[in-house]
Amino acid sequence: MRYAETGFNLEIDLTRGSIERVESDPRLTELHLGGLGTNAKILWDRVPADVEPFSPDNLLIFATGLLCGTPAPGANRTIISTYSPQTLFMGYSMMGGFLAPELKYAGYDKVIFRGKSPNLVYLWINNDKVEIRDASHLRGKGAVETAELIRQELKEPKAQVAAIGLAGENRVYMASIEQGRSSASRLGLGAVMGDKGLKAIAVRGTKDVNVAKPAEFMQLCNEVLQYIKVRAPNLIPEVMPILAGLGSPQEMAHVDEKWHTENFMWGNARTRRKEFWTKEIEEKWKDALETVRTRLISCYNCPMKCGAIISAPGVSTYMMKCFTKLTYTMAAFVDDLDFGFKIAQRATEYGVDGFSMPQAMAFGFELKEAGILTEADFAGCPSDNEGKFYWLLDRIVRREGIGDVLANGTYWAAKQIGKGAEAYAHNVIKKHEQLPLKLGMLNPIYFLMYSTGEKMNITQIEGNFPQAPFSTMELREAFVKDWVQAPNDKFKKYVLDWEFRGERSMPFYPPVEACCEIVDWQEKMHHIDDALGLCAGLSSFPLKPPYHIHNLPTLISAATGIDMDEDGLTQIFNRNRTLVRAINVRRGLRRADEKPPEDHWKKRFPELEAQLLDGYYKFKGWNHEGIPTKESLHELGLDYVAEDFLQRGILTDNEGTPSKETSAETKKK
């Protein structure tokens, strides 16, 4: 018997319309756990390096994490992987909600799509009965609307549905995959789904998920719940309210947006409004939030309430979580939060990324003001801030006129527009729009995370280490006192020694080596979550979470029966992390791509930055170009990657000297 996992994947060929149930190799679970880890392995093995995202040969993988469907609280993530049309690299985006556990209960760990359907279809998985069904009547329907229509049509109110909206159908590069209260938004996975002619996937499962050591496993789950009970209401001082507790940022619960509205940039990630958060705004925004918010809601088997049901007057009800509440409002320079809730409703039905879409729109309007785009491009566009954003959203999602260009995201749109437009696509890393955050002093930890992260999204890399020093020694001591999550006492020392000013302040403190350890640890926790399907909100994202490096090995053992300790788990992380890098290196990723936006910090330190990157590459066992070395690949059991690199000339036998200096930046689309 397989424990925690089902041991079966569904292989769907959309070109031929074939469906196969294939047993997976249990050894892969021991090597990669599941979720992102095994997705990376499948992409490496089965999708050649030169396959375009919109090729029938590209795979679109819906994966459950290894612990999804077990009673582990918060193990509910669906990890979707493919090649991103935006970055051209491996795109992996995740969502919580209810889909992954349902898929496990139906008897599958992953659904792997290949090919392209000639007509719009959806997949219906009902335990052992799996069918590809016509979706032509759902063309153009909203993502939330589609899920409801499918449930009605199947007469199965308990089916879980993930769907794309119009944006995905039209292959808009920032199209998301929506699933009720959750969405896999980043990196344009919805566009790949649309390209494959797949409107939705609906799942119903009523089978058992087994665990290897039942009593021990349940005991560990109970400990996690008991810890949440104590930690969640005990907020960490000096940390902004939305991040002081547990869960993903508590945007739906909290009214206080002083930090975001005054520290994040408005418009096209340019303008800081330092005095924005007045008493009057606070009251207005409080009222706006409380008026539309019907209920705070959770994902499967999680006590945190990071999402909300939103019923704004005049638009249909939808669900929201996290930061989308602010992104449209701030990009459009609208001081009324009500606008944010209303436009987000339309955006959710269209199925678009709440970060990239507002930024692409603000970028478009900035180009118009600069005279690079013309009045003719915006013929018919209203002049008020709200109206013009609705107008452009509709154009982009339908790929009409200028919308067709902006639908490719700021990086590719700038290239296409030319005339100096590239300078306006200033907030991208690896061609992907970033948080609209512009700061003063270089933060060396964040420099590394921004540069080397392959999720292309800082919130999916940062987490367990404080974002800034605590102001007093008392606070620092209080913080480290019960910091059981820290890998070892060195990390406590970094927190105790870290100052706002003086010798032990940024950018030179923490020192390079410490920064490497801190970044590696935070990334490790995210990678483990993404393989297990645990929500980062209970693990890698908040400070002092219930899951950590010291209790996860036992949990994995109890669930799967696999012997696991911290070293073993670290080795798996290194293997999975390196494999993701290898996939991207094979597609052209090099050192030159690994840089935050020029204007991310005012005060930059080129020498230190080079040292940081050098130090981190070395720490990871990568060469000067960020390519994993033959030796480090061998240690991780990834000799097949080394062989491939040698064959392609990415590595040479003469270690450390890469033969090709190409960068994905310079590669033609």
Q: Is 345 in the site for another protein (CB under 8 A)?
A: no
DSSP label at residue 201 = E
How far apart CA 242 and CA 244 sit, in angstroms, is: 6
CB of 309 to another protein, least distance (A): 6
CB of 647 to another protein, least distance (A): 46
Q: Read out DSSP for 629-641? A: PHHHHHHTT-HHH
How far apart CA 313 and CA 291 sit, in angstroms, is: 9
With contacts defined by CB under 8 A, name the span among 65-73, 273-281, 373-381, 478-486 that binds another protein.
65-73
Binding residue (CB under 8 A) for another protein from 116, 133, 207, 595: 207
- Taking CA atoms, 108 is separated from 33, 143, 192, 486, 601, in Å, by 15, 24, 22, 35, 45
Nearer to another protein, 79 or 209 (CB): 209
Site for another protein, residues 118 to 147, rule: CB under 8 A: 144
Q: Read out DSSP for 305-333? A: --EEEE--TTS--EEEETTHHHHHHHHTT
> In sequence order, what are the beta bridge partners of 9?
22, 110
Binding residue (CB under 8 A) for another protein from 295, 490, 648, 667: 295
CB of 557 to another protein, least distance (A): 15
Do the beta carbons of residue 84 and residue 91 sit within 8 Å? yes
DSSP label at residue 539 = T
Q: Is 562 in the site for another protein (CB under 8 A)?
A: no
Long-range contacts, 400-407 (Cβ 8 Å, 24+) = 401/377, 402/364, 402/373, 402/377, 402/378, 406/360, 406/361, 406/363, 406/364, 407/167, 407/170, 407/171, 407/172, 407/173, 407/174, 407/360
Q: Is 234 in the site for another protein (CB under 8 A)?
A: no
CB of 282 to another protein, least distance (A): 26
Binding residue (CB under 8 A) for another protein from 30, 57, 148, 238: 148
Q: Is 494 in the site for another protein (CB under 8 A)?
A: no
DSSP label at residue 78 = E
CB of 150 to another protein, least distance (A): 14
Binding residue (CB under 8 A) for another protein from 118, 140, 214, 387: 214
Binding residue (CB under 8 A) for another protein from 55, 210, 385, 571: 210
Nearer to another protein, 145 or 335 (CB): 145
Quickly list H helices, 297-408: 324-331, 337-350, 356-369, 385-398, 402-406
Q: Is 199 in the site for another protein (CB under 8 A)?
A: no
Binding residue (CB under 8 A) for another protein from 62, 89, 105, 447: 105
Tokens 């293997």 belong to 575
Do the beta carbons of residue 347 and residue 164 sit within 8 Å? no
Tokens 């200028």 belong to 402
State the sign of the Cα–Cα–Cα–Cα dihedral 225, 229, 234, 239. Answer: positive
- Taking CA atoms, 246 is separated from 220, 249, 505, in Å, by 18, 8, 27
Q: Is 424 in the site for another protein (CB under 8 A)?
A: no
Q: Closest Cα partner for 197 from 110, 89, 116, 276?
A: 116
Q: Is 233 in the site for another protein (CB under 8 A)?
A: no
Binding residue (CB under 8 A) for another protein from 60, 163, 228, 435: 228
Tokens 């050894």 belong to 27
How far apart CA 647 and CA 640 sit, in angstroms, is: 11
Nearer to another protein, 177 or 361 (CB): 177
CB of 295 to another protein, least distance (A): 6
Binding residue (CB under 8 A) for another protein from 28, 244, 255, 297: 297
Q: Is 655 in the site for another protein (CB under 8 A)?
A: no
Q: Distance between alpha carbon 160 and the CA centroid of its chain, in Å?
A: 21
Nearer to another protein, 98 or 446 (CB): 98
With contacts defined by CB under 8 A, name the span among 6-14, 109-117, 211-219, 346-354 that binds another protein.
211-219
3-state SS string over 258-271?
HHHHHHECECCCCE
Q: Is 535 in the site for another protein (CB under 8 A)?
A: no
Nearer to another protein, 318 or 601 (CB): 318
Site for another protein, residues 149 to 188, rule: CB under 8 A: 157, 180-181
CB of 412 to another protein, least distance (A): 35
Do the beta carbons of residue 665 and residue 593 sit within 8 Å? yes
Nearer to another protein, 101 or 444 (CB): 101
With contacts defined by CB under 8 A, name the span among 295-303, 353-361, 368-376, 596-604 that binds another protein.
295-303
By CB under 8 A, the count of residues binding another protein is 43
* 365, two tokens: 């309007």
* 82, two tokens: 């493919």
Nearer to another protein, 344 or 651 (CB): 344
Do the beta carbons of residue 173 and residue 186 sit within 8 Å? no
How far apart CA 71 and CA 58 sit, in angstroms, is: 34
Describe the crossing of helices 489-497 and 473-481 by its angle, rounded to 10 degrees.
160
Nearer to another protein, 96 or 463 (CB): 96
CB of 619 to another protein, least distance (A): 39
Q: Closest Cα partner for 525 from 481, 460, 578?
A: 460
Nearer to another protein, 152 or 472 (CB): 152
> In sequence order, what are the beta bridge partners of 21?
10
With contacts defined by CB under 8 A, name the span among 164-172, 220-228, 377-385, 450-458 that binds another protein.
220-228
Q: Is 107 in the site for another protein (CB under 8 A)?
A: no
3-state SS string over 612-628?
HHHHHHHHHCECCCCCE
CB of 553 to another protein, least distance (A): 20
Q: Is 211 in the site for another protein (CB under 8 A)?
A: yes
Q: Is 335 in the site for another protein (CB under 8 A)?
A: no
CA Rg, the chain, in Å?
A: 23
How far apart CA 10 and CA 130 sit, in angstroms, is: 9
How far apart CA 102 and CA 96 sit, in angstroms, is: 12
Nearer to another protein, 536 or 589 (CB): 536
Q: Is 203 in the site for another protein (CB under 8 A)?
A: no
Q: Is 557 in the site for another protein (CB under 8 A)?
A: no
Binding residue (CB under 8 A) for another protein from 281, 296, 496, 592: 296
Nearby residues of 609 by Cβ (< 8 Å), 6 or more positions away: 442, 447
Nearer to another protein, 4 or 192 (CB): 4
Convert residues 298-327 into a mask of x (bound to another protein by CB under 8 A) and - (unbound): xxxxxx-x---x-x----xxxx--------
Can you give the binding site for another protein, defined by CB under 8 A?
69-71, 73, 98, 105, 144, 148, 157, 180-181, 205-211, 214-215, 217-218, 222, 225, 228-229, 294-303, 305, 309, 311, 316-319
